[in-house]
Amino acid sequence: MLIFEHSREGRRAAAQAPLEKVGAKGLPERFRRRQRAPLPEVSEMQVVRHYTRLSQKNFSIDTQFYPLGSCTMKYNPRACNSLAMLPGFIDRHPLAPETHSQGFLACMFELQEMLKDVTGMKGVSLTPMAGAQGEFAGVAMIRAYHESRGDSSRTEILVPDAAHGTNPATAVMCGYTVKEIPTDRQGDVDMDALKAAVGPQTAGIMLTNPSTLGVFERRIKEIAKVIHDAGGLLYYDGANLNAILGKVRPGDMGFDVIHMNLHKTFSTPHGGGGPGAGAVGVSERLMPFRPIPVVAKEGERYRWLKKADLSQSIGQLSAFAGNAGVLLRAYIYMRMLGRDGMHRVADFSTLNANYLMARLREKGFDLAFPERRATHEFIVTLKRQAKEQGVTAMDFAKRLLDFGFHAPTTYFPLLVPECLLIEPTETEAKEALDGFVDAMAAIQAEAESDPEKVRGAPYTQPNRRFDEVRAARELDLRYVPGVAG
Amino acid sequence: MPFIPHTQDDIREMLATIGVPSIETLFDEIPAELRTGELRGIPDAMSEMEITRLMGDRAAQDAGALNFIGAGAYEHHIPAAVWQIATRGEFYSAYTPYQAEASQGTLQLIYEYQTMMTGLTGMDVSNASLYDGASALAEAVLMAVRVHRKSKSRRILVPTSVHPAYRATTHAIVDGQEIELVEVPFDPASGRVSLDTLKPYEGEDYTALVIQQPNFFGTLEEVDELTRWARANNVLVIAVVNPLTLALLTPPGEWGDDGVDIVCGDGQPLGAPLSSGGPYYGLMCCRQEHARQMPGRIVGRTVDADGKRGFVLTLQAREQHIRRSKATSNICTNQGLVVTASTIHMALLGPEGLERVAAASHANTQALVERVAALGVQPLFSGEHFHEVVFKLDRPAAGVLAKMAEQGVLGGYDLGQDYPDMADCLLVCATETKTGADLDAYVAALRTALA
């Protein structure tokens, strides 16, 4: 049932609004709404019950193993939430004077410093509100850098074909054309193709390392040299640093700019689709272009650096200073991990991924890159099952739900047919990984004995498989009273 | 090891299964010369007890002031149930609902959100949210350029009465695509855009006109005549709204003769705490015929294999993971959890509750206007305002605000930061959270500051 179907005229949660009703004095008739807004009229308990029940229809990290590749579904410590929601933090107005902001600014400054250290970059700006905005900031800085040198001939951004879809979309938003670079059979960037593609038109390259194929790009230094020699800059899509935290730093690899999805590596919640935080780190030459505001420390006082301080900044990307509450959660998480904890994240996310990969291989599953180590994630391809049993990666994914596991990422990266991108993260115990392996093996057995059963999954969820074509053709995007759903 | 469950036995067995002698071996594909040394910039770990103490101290440092600043972020009561339910693990720790069958909670909630937001704005279609109001305006501008195919100019009329941070953000995001934001001055007496200020732009090709209601100064724009002007000049209208005020104000879907084209704004007043500026969420609504040009995620209702209704992400062919360089935007992660809270908030308040909150906020600001009159302080503009107002002082606002802050009162926003000729002007907002005693405290602090 929809909340609107619980609605009865005149019912309300009376404790939640001013008890005394006042008129809008001085508001002329021509500005006034003629008909009351069509919102539900329900009691407080009805609301609580309705949304509590809805929540129970979700899979989540708190309730299930959620090995969604490229998304880093690790445990979100509860303290990160409760402490970020202390009254002093949530009641602070974004435009409060610095005299009333030193506690918050101290956290933000220290977060900048910690992110500088783990990435090896020279400076950090925390303001981008998600990975895609961090990417935008990164490419906009590359553009600003070339423009500041009067170099207007660079019109092209190179993007490996394994890249996240956001990479090419971002390059276009920044006014660039995109040239795709193929991947070789081992999952590395095809060096010959790269060398053939670079030139005076190259503004830069957007690269993920470890790549979305779940492998470390071994020739990264060579790539950096090729791009830098051509006058281009390197952008690091650090959507996920889980496998390299404390092991290797993008700054040391030669990158000029990086964005970090704090909602992945630094465990801020995914919230059913955000909010995220996509902080950016920059090398020396991009320092003047950082998005504003940035926090500075002068003596024992903290203050915002704004347009007057960073006159060449690419500007601001939100009304205030980004997703501050998310940044606080990342800060708290990093302080709880501490120096040693950073290394352990990489150690155990890599251990879990390689263990899961070894166990699935034992059970007869095909790996996309059997000769390579897994990083924080790896790819299984079900091409053979699709051909022999007519059971696809999507069928496996849906059937996994019946076994109580969220599906891995399916059909991404696009290069590997019938792929499952699997990322267990460091917070899962060995028993959970073994349970997942058992489920995959059971589904494989079903695929051989009763493929129809797998193709019809799921059976235990609130719904069976959906008619997505109908959803896109016969758009039903809001409830209209009296129209049957 | 915080948050890592492995025992020594686990580690031994796992390494044996993999067939390597140590965890370290798993990193042997990383070239040795790239390996990192010690992370000297990261302090030692803290226990939950220790970090609780630290954060408690830091939060306390910033707490306690009486806040009268609005300027795009508004202090309202948020029912206890809102964040208690939103932070249930099933909402808090779920991902974007790609596996629809295992995400019906989030998907149905977004469908309900879309219904509520279209109801408030009077539009046909809402997306599932963008990052915040400022970046939503940038996306609205990009969308207007895609939608208005007959307009070739890529020029957008943006009055200077639109929030300065929204204008700055829009610049930062759209400048790379050769879109020109043309500044339209407001009428200095009324504090709003007038047909006279628009006259110079008649008869030329502009893609869209941005109208903020109430505008940055809290002044009400004459939205009907501005919308008609735009129609007559073949210019699309992008409305920027505070959704709470729409409980009382004409929804943009009804401005002029047949409404605006795109609506955006910040959803913060509907259940998001001030929280230093975020996370909030950007709302965006449009007409049915433009749904396929909308950025961001959209949820649709459909049926499953048994004919049972349910909800899925739809129109994904617009998005970056399918369309890559031809996507409507690069956005993927949006502000899902804040939308969750906001939907619960709207359901709890209902139409009557939101009306009461909006009216009480307006009444409190009116009461403040009356009380500061005793100090000789008057509103700057003659135009009607709603729940936020500009006061004209006899001296620079910055110094006055600093003196008020010393008394624990955050007295408003210094407009001189964005409008150099308004350095003696304060933008002030008193929401429903303020009592008569709070208003007295404001007046007392202002009196002291002016003395």
CB A272 to CB B169 under 8 A?
A: no
pLDDT digits (tens, 9 = 90+) for A87-99: 999 999 999 999 9
In this prediction the pTM is: 0.98
pLDDT at B107: 98
pLDDT at A143: 97
Contacts of B17 in chain A (CB under 8 A): 355, 358-359, 362
pLDDT at B331: 86
Nearest to B325 among A178, A267, A472 (CB): A178
A266 contacts A240 by C-beta, under 8 angstroms: no
Contacts of A471 in chain B (CB under 8 A): 300-302, 312, 314
Q: Enumerate long-range contacts of B396-399, CB under 8 Å, 24 or more apart.
A: B396/B423, B396/B424, B397/B423, B397/B424, B397/B425, B397/B426, B398/B423, B399/B449
Nearest to B337 among A102, A272, A359 (CB): A272
The mean predicted confidence, pLDDT, of chain A is 96
Nearest to A92 among B85, B129, B274 (CB): B274
Nearest to A274 among B33, B333, B386 (CB): B333
Beta strands in A270-341 (DSSP E): 278-282, 294-298, 301-305
Helix (H/G/I), strand (E/B), else coil: B22: coil
Q: Quote the ipTM score.
A: 0.97
Q: Phi and psi of B362, rounded to 5°?
A: -60, -45
Contacts of A4 in chain B (CB under 8 A): 112, 115
Residues 385-444 of B with CB under 8 A from A: 386, 401-402, 405, 410, 413, 432
Contacts of A58 in chain B (CB under 8 A): 90-91, 94, 97, 102-106
Is the pLDDT score of A414 beyond 60?
A: yes
In order of A81, A103, B54, the CA distances from A86 in angstroms are 9, 12, 12
Show pLDDT as tens, one digit a residue, over chain B (451 residues).
899 999 999 999 999 999 999 999 999 999 999 998 789 889 999 999 999 999 999 999 999 999 999 999 999 999 999 999 999 999 999 999 999 999 999 999 999 999 999 999 999 999 999 999 999 999 999 999 999 999 999 999 999 999 999 999 999 999 999 999 999 999 999 999 999 999 999 999 999 999 999 999 999 999 999 999 999 999 999 999 999 999 999 999 999 999 999 999 999 999 999 999 999 999 999 999 999 999 999 999 999 999 999 999 999 888 777 777 788 888 888 999 999 999 999 999 999 999 999 999 999 999 999 999 999 999 999 999 999 999 999 999 999 999 999 999 999 999 999 999 999 999 999 999 999 999 999 999 999 999 9
The CA-based angle A11-A13-A19, given to 5 degrees, is: 105
B242 contacts B72 by C-beta, under 8 angstroms: no
Contacts of A120 in chain B (CB under 8 A): 36
For an interface test with A, give the residue of B44, B111, B324 to mutate (most A CBs within 10 A). B324
B131 exposed, middle or buried (CB, 10 Å; 0-12, 13-18, 19+)? buried
CB B45 to CB A336 under 8 A?
A: yes
In order of A116, A303, B402, B407, B433, the CA distances from A299 in angstroms are 20, 11, 21, 25, 37
Query: Domain residue spans in chain B?
Result: 66-77+350-450, 80-344
B125 contacts B315 by C-beta, under 8 angstroms: no
CB A103 to CB B58 under 8 A?
A: yes
A227 contacts A198 by C-beta, under 8 angstroms: yes
Helix (H/G/I), strand (E/B), else coil: B146: helix
Contacts of A215 in chain B (CB under 8 A): 29
Q: Quick one: tokens of B310?
A: 């349910």
> B282 pairs with which residues across the strands?
B130, B266
pLDDT digits (tens, 9 = 90+) for A426-473: 999 999 999 999 999 999 999 999 999 999 999 999 999 999 999 999
Q: Quick one: tokens of A329?
A: 């959660």
Nearest to A75 among B3, B305, B386 (CB): B3
Is the pLDDT score of A483 beyond 80?
A: no
Select from A167, A281, A283, A291 the least CA-distant residue to A228: A283
pLDDT at B53: 98
Q: Phi and psi of B183, rounded to 5°?
A: -75, 125
pLDDT at A240: 81
Cα separation, A325 vs B328, whole angstroms: 28
Select from A162, A69, A66 the least CA-distant residue to A379: A69
B318 CB-near residues (< 8 Å, 6+ apart): B292, B293, B294, B295, B327, B328
- The DSSP string of B81-133 is HHHHHHTSHHHHT---S-SGGGBHHHHHHHHHHHHHHHHHHT-SEE-S-BS-H
pLDDT at A269: 97
For an interface test with A, give the residue of B17, B44, B47, B90 to mutate (most A CBs within 10 A). B90
Q: Quick one: tokens of A177?
A: 């054309």
pLDDT at B327: 82
pLDDT digits (tens, 9 = 90+) for A341-353: 999 999 999 999 9
Domain spanning B66-77+350-450: CATH superfamily: Aspartate Aminotransferase, domain 1 (3.90.1150.10)
B240 contacts B133 by C-beta, under 8 angstroms: yes
pLDDT digits (tens, 9 = 90+) for A301-315: 999 999 999 999 999
% helix, strand, coil for chain B, step of 5: 45, 15, 40
Instruction: Report the amino acid identity of residue A289.
Output: F
Q: What is the DSSP letter of B220?
A: P
Nearest to A117 among B39, B58, B99 (CB): B39
Give the number of other Cβ atoms within 10 Å of residue B46's Cβ: 19
Write a three-state SS string for A176-244: CEEEEECECCCCCECHHHHHHHCCCCEEEEEECCCCCCCCCCCCHHHHHHHHHHCCCEEEEEECCCCCC
pLDDT band at A485 (very low <50, low <70, confident <90, very high): low
Select from B331, B298, B303, B336 the least CA-distant residue to B316: B298
Is the pLDDT score of A24 beyond 90?
A: no
Q: What is the count of residue pairs from A and B with beta carbons less than 8 Å apart? A: 680
Select from B270, B434, B70, B56 the least CA-distant residue to A89: B56
Nearest chain A residue to B31, by CA: A218
Query: Which CATH number is B80-344's, of 1.10.10.10, 1.10.3720.10, 3.40.50.300, 3.40.640.10?
Result: 3.40.640.10
Contacts of A372 in chain B (CB under 8 A): 29
Dmax over Cα atoms in chain A, in whole Å?
Answer: 76
Q: Which domains does chain A have, with CATH numbers?
A: 79-336 (3.40.640.10), 343-469 (3.90.1150.10)
pLDDT digits (tens, 9 = 90+) for A153-178: 999 999 999 888 889 999 999 999 99
Instruction: Report the amino acid identity of residue B408.
Output: G
Is any Cβ of chain A less than 8 angstroms from the Cβ of B273?
yes
Q: State the smallest CA–CA distance between residue A363 and chain B in angstroms.
A: 13
pLDDT digits (tens, 9 = 90+) for A257-303: 999 999 999 999 999 999 999 999 999 999 999 999 999 999 999 99
> A294 pairs with which residues across the strands?
A305
B398 exposed, middle or buried (CB, 10 Å; 0-12, 13-18, 19+)? middle
Contacts of A225 in chain B (CB under 8 A): none
Q: State the smallest CA–CA distance between residue B200 and chain A in angstroms.
A: 26
In order of A39, A159, A304, B151, the CA distances from B74 in angstroms are 21, 42, 21, 36
CB A41 to CB B27 under 8 A?
A: no
pLDDT at A181: 95
| DSSP run (H or E) holding B410 | strand B409-410
pLDDT at B147: 96
Torsion of CA B269, A275, B260, B302, to 10 degrees: -120
Instruction: Report the amino acid identity of residue A126.
Output: L
Cα separation, B225 vs B211, whole angstroms: 11
Helix (H/G/I), strand (E/B), else coil: B392: strand
Is any Cβ of chain A less than 8 angstroms from the Cβ of B250?
yes
pLDDT at A484: 56
Nearest to A58 among B19, B91, B246 (CB): B91
Nearest to B304 among A2, A130, A464 (CB): A464
Contacts of B128 in chain A (CB under 8 A): 273
Contacts of B248 in chain A (CB under 8 A): 24, 27, 32-33
